[in-house]
Structure 1
Amino acid sequence: MRLDEYVDDIEQDDSVALRKLAEEKSYAVTEYIDDARTRFDETLTDDTLVGSTAPSVFVGRSSYPNVSAGVLAPVGDENDAEAYATTGEWYQQGFSIDDVFERRTGLLNSTRRSNVDVYDVWDGFVGTQREVALADDPVDIELGLDDRPGFDLDGPLEDIAAPRGPRAFAESARVTENPSVPRAIEKTLSDDDWRAEGAITYLYRRGFDVYDINNVLSVGALGEAENRRLVPTRWSITAVDDTVGQYLRGTIRNAPPIDRTLVWHTSYMGNDYWVVAAPGDWEFELLELKAPGSIWNPDPDGQLYMAADNEGYDGRSGYVEETSGAYYAARLGVLEALADRDRQAKVFVVRYATEAYWAPVGVWQIRESVRDAFDGEPAVAETFHDAVRQLVPQLPVSMAALRRKSTMAAGVQADLSAFGAGGDSSRSR
């Protein structure tokens, strides 16, 4: 299909529905918070001892190296505990922002302060947390809390940084069953001479998705003995995406390039994604456009926010400056698709976060959106330059502004008429 036909076929119904949901967000959030409070009040006993099933863990980054180590567990819905863990299944099931709020506000985060150096720690709260992270299924646990859970969600919606559940400090925690640990994870755990990068790659090659691996890394169960420590969840997610991405880039270094320019599109949770892949050696760029009124650009009367990072054939030597974890999540989705096809390409990903993206749900939605885009039938463009020119009218930015921000788009040879396409360039300042 030609790119112009592909663009004409894109449905806008989902965007309309998301905007309607965004307008009603305050009511949905309030209802979920009230429901969660009621469920916790009904479930907790007088001595605040909780029996639950934990599908996941959380490690905070505040006050590093003395961090908050947490066990995440639903209360009142233990039989469906696995559905509360963030995985690619949320995307496959079509979760909305609303659905993510419902799941996250129903998770109790039981925490204890811990130093990150935990190589030999397998008892107490941290030991329980590590057992939960290593198990291949949600684990039955018993928690002793020293206070009632605090929701910390009172106040204006715009003060809420991300959907999250109640938090309580734990006096005690123990696993009440014998958890099953996959053999591959046991191998990486027992080999404390193995660098973390090699262990991460080993697990990925054996079919573990990045969601499973970052939990294992987060609780300090990978790497050489002297380097094993708790890793804040946000850091572990990016570290795993980056490590797996570097491994996949290595597998395609000598692969032949794709033979034509292809364009994919998908949309999810108020985000539009365009992926342009053109013949040539590996090159990658992520360009993020964030509309006024969206979560990371909240002023509805403000200007469009633009951020971009890129790499060439040899990858990057340092952390990205503007797009943070989104870069590594998007790059992973691209590299998985190329490795599966045994091809390399220069790839330009554009993410447009519209005002319908009213709450941050995590980089998982970026990773899964890019993965899903490659499952669709692509459009065909004459050249990379032609693809970018035809995409500009679909974006809230002019060709001139795009060229000023994007390294890859800056190479597009355009005539004067192209500089006026796609709207007023003043919106992108």
Structure 2
Amino acid sequence: MMKLFNSKLCALCKGRKLLCGRPTCPILERFRVVKSVEQKINRREIFGSSPPSLFVGEYGYPKVRVGPLVPPIEGNTSHLDSPLKWENKTIKDVLYYRSLLVMGEMKADVNVRKSGRILEEVQELAMSVKPVDSEILLKRRPILKVLPSEFAPPVGPRAELLDFELTENPRIPRKTDYVVSDELKAEEAIMRLYNWGFDEYYIIRLLSAGLLGINKKLVPTRWSITAVQDTIGKKLREEILRYDTINEFELYFYEFLGNRYAVILMPETYAFELLEVWLKGSLFGSDEPEVIHDYEDFRGIKGYAEETTGAYYAARLSVLESLRWRRRQARIIVFREVTPKYYAPVGVWQIRVGVKKAMENPVGKFNTLQEALNELRKFLELELEKYLEKSWILRLRKQRTLDYYFNMM
């Protein structure tokens, strides 16, 4: 397969021959999305129903870009920013949704005490559980750029914000008011909202808007996603450590938006590992794909997941939720293969959803790990040995087995 995004290759192909080996041209696909929304957003004043949605950037921290996201559409627009409900959507759908959300951006200090009226309005928007009719006035017509990000869904058109106003009262639950106004640490606030059944991305929005914690600050959207998923994951890990282990080796599999997710559960004490590979021809792939990984034992990961980054916390949370529901613990390995079909990164939510769907799609139960691995081969494109060489859990298990037999001599 030829090298992707080579200027000469693209010039020869012009998106028609698909010489890069992908099922669709990512350049033309994004161009089509831009053209489909161009007329709807080609103005300085945008009035519509925000899903509700906002974005907080990280560049320049502690002075960051922040602003509401408003589409030129009225009515129920919640589907435009509901990542955990996009399980039946395509990459093109997601790019279209994000391209409709116009961001009016302004510079703000992360210390919300220094904020003015506009940021207060943005915070009210963040607390709503229903779309809110809103109006933004921009300095110029918005520019649409779809930037690659493995964390947040791609940000759509944007321009400097002159004014923002909610034109109706937001629907704010009493429990949200209680959590926001009370002197709770961010971790406690996150868990209360989660256990009360609030949507994960609603909690992320509150954290980003500087509404959670004792010393309230704006938190970049990308950081908020990882912080919320990590916080919930840690608490669920503490809970499942009290449960008995599963009884057999279990294998699960699901393919979602060009990503293959396989999960092996072992009847042993808790540990978690994510093994990830970008296959040849994929967005960040190479001619010789390499497996990257991060892992933890029952004490949790040391520091930050440096190799798999945000994907680690998203995948871990989906498996932990499944085990919590079963009131069981297990040793966990998640395999992620990114194929050329994943032609535009749409955010870490797809990992969250992909692994969650995998846990709802069992392949089978096995008496031995070897039987489970033999079945796993059928679902992977990269040879299994590449994963086995890298896996901390499988190396550790092999070493313990040798130690056991040695001590029996």
TM-score range, shorter chain: 0.7 to 0.9
CA contact (8 A) 1:22 1:357 kept: no
Which residue of 1 is the match for residue 49 of structure 2?
53
CA contact (8 A) 2:275 2:387 kept: no
- Give the aligned length: 376
Counterpart secondary structure, 2:263: strand
Which letter does structure 2 place at the counterpart of 1:243?
A: T
Which letter does structure 2 place at the counterpart of 1:72?
A: L
For residue 89 of structure 1, the aligned residue among 63, 85, 90 is 85
The separation in 1 between residues aligned to 2:201 and 2:350, in whole angstroms, is 12
Which residue of 2 is the match for residue 283 of structure 1?
271
Which letter does structure 1 place at the counterpart of 2:169?
A: N
Q: CA deviation at 1:164?
A: 3.5
Question: Is 1:232 paired with 2:232?
Answer: no
For residue 330 of structure 2, the aligned residue among 321, 340, 345 is 345
Q: CA deviation at 1:49?
A: 2.6
Kindly tell me: are residues 152 and 348 of structure 1, through their superposed partners in 2, closer, same or farther at Cα, counting changes over 3 Å?
closer
Question: Is 1:26 paired with 2:23?
Answer: no
The separation in 1 between residues aligned to 2:182 and 2:102, in whole angstroms, is 33
Which letter does structure 2 place at the counterpart of 1:218?
A: S
Which letter does structure 2 place at the counterpart of 1:148?
A: R
Q: Which moved more, 1:97-106 or 1:337-346?
A: 97-106
Which residue of 1 is the match for residue 204 of structure 2?
214
Which residue of 2 is the match for residue 69 of structure 1?
66
Which residue of 1 is the match for residue 314 of structure 2?
329
The separation in 1 between residues aligned to 2:277 and 2:366, in whole angstroms, is 23
The one-character-per-residue Cα deviations of 1:42-66 (angstroms, maximum 9, x if unpaired) are xx3xxx2322221211100000010
Question: Is 1:391 paired with 2:392?
Answer: no
Kindly tell me: are residues 152 and 25 of structure 1, through their superposed partners in 2, closer, same or farther at Cα, counting changes over 3 Å?
closer
Which letter does structure 2 place at the counterpart of 1:51?
A: F
Unpaired segments of 5 or more residues in structure 2?
1-19, 400-409
For residue 172 of structure 2, the aligned residue among 174, 178, 181 is 181
TM-score by length of 2: 0.87
The one-character-per-residue Cα deviations of 1:163-203 (angstroms, maximum 9, x if unpaired) are 432111111111111112111111111112x1100110000
Which residue of 1 is the match for residue 296 of structure 2?
311
For residue 117 of structure 2, the aligned residue among 95, 114, 124 is 124
Q: Which moved more, 1:214-223 or 1:144-153?
A: 144-153
Which residue of 1 is the match for residue 37 of structure 2?
36
The separation in 2 between residues aligned to 1:382 and 1:28, in whole angstroms, is 46
Pairs within 5 Å for 1:146-165: 146-152=139-145, 163-165=154-156
Counterpart secondary structure, 1:62: coil
Identity %: 36
Question: Is 1:296 paired with 2:278?
Answer: no
CA contact (8 A) 1:163 1:359 kept: no
Q: CA deviation at 1:401?
A: 2.6
Unpaired segments of 5 or more residues in structure 1?
1-18, 154-158, 415-429
Which residue of 1 is the match for residue 9 of structure 2?
none
CA contact (8 A) 1:291 1:304 kept: yes
Which residue of 1 is the match for residue 101 of structure 2?
107
The separation in 2 between residues aligned to 1:229 and 1:32, in whole angstroms, is 35
Counterpart secondary structure, 2:392: coil
Q: Which moved more, 1:346-355 or 1:26-35?
A: 26-35
Which letter does structure 2 place at the counterpart of 1:203?
A: L
The separation in 1 between residues aligned to 2:370 and 2:394, in whole angstroms, is 8
Q: CA deviation at 1:377?
A: 3.5
Question: Is 1:407 paired with 2:397?
Answer: no
Q: CA deviation at 1:378?
A: 3.8
Counterpart secondary structure, 2:292: strand
CA contact (8 A) 2:314 2:351 kept: yes
- Could you say what the CA RMSD is over the residues aligned between the two structures, in angstroms? 2.1
TM-score by length of 1: 0.83
The separation in 2 between residues aligned to 1:84 and 1:21, in whole angstroms, is 27
Q: CA deviation at 1:284?
A: 0.5
The separation in 2 between residues aligned to 1:334 and 1:245, in whole angstroms, is 9
Which letter does structure 1 place at the counterpart of 2:32?
A: E
Counterpart secondary structure, 1:180: coil
For residue 344 of structure 2, the aligned residue among 359, 377, 381 is 359
CA contact (8 A) 1:59 1:233 kept: yes
Which residue of 2 is the match for residue 372 of structure 1?
357
CA contact (8 A) 2:291 2:387 kept: no
Which residue of 2 is the match for residue 201 of structure 1?
191
The separation in 1 between residues aligned to 2:21 and 2:124, in whole angstroms, is 42
Kindly tell me: are residues 344 and 412 of structure 1, through their superposed partners in 2, closer, same or farther at Cα, counting changes over 3 Å?
closer
The separation in 2 between residues aligned to 1:388 and 1:246, in whole angstroms, is 28
Which residue of 1 is the match for residue 8 of structure 2?
none
Which letter does structure 2 place at the counterpart of 1:262?
A: E
Q: CA deviation at 1:109?
A: 1.1
The separation in 2 between residues aligned to 1:292 and 1:371, in whole angstroms, is 25
For residue 168 of structure 1, the aligned residue among 141, 159, 164 is 159
Which letter does structure 1 place at the counterpart of 2:288?
A: Q
CA contact (8 A) 1:385 1:413 kept: no
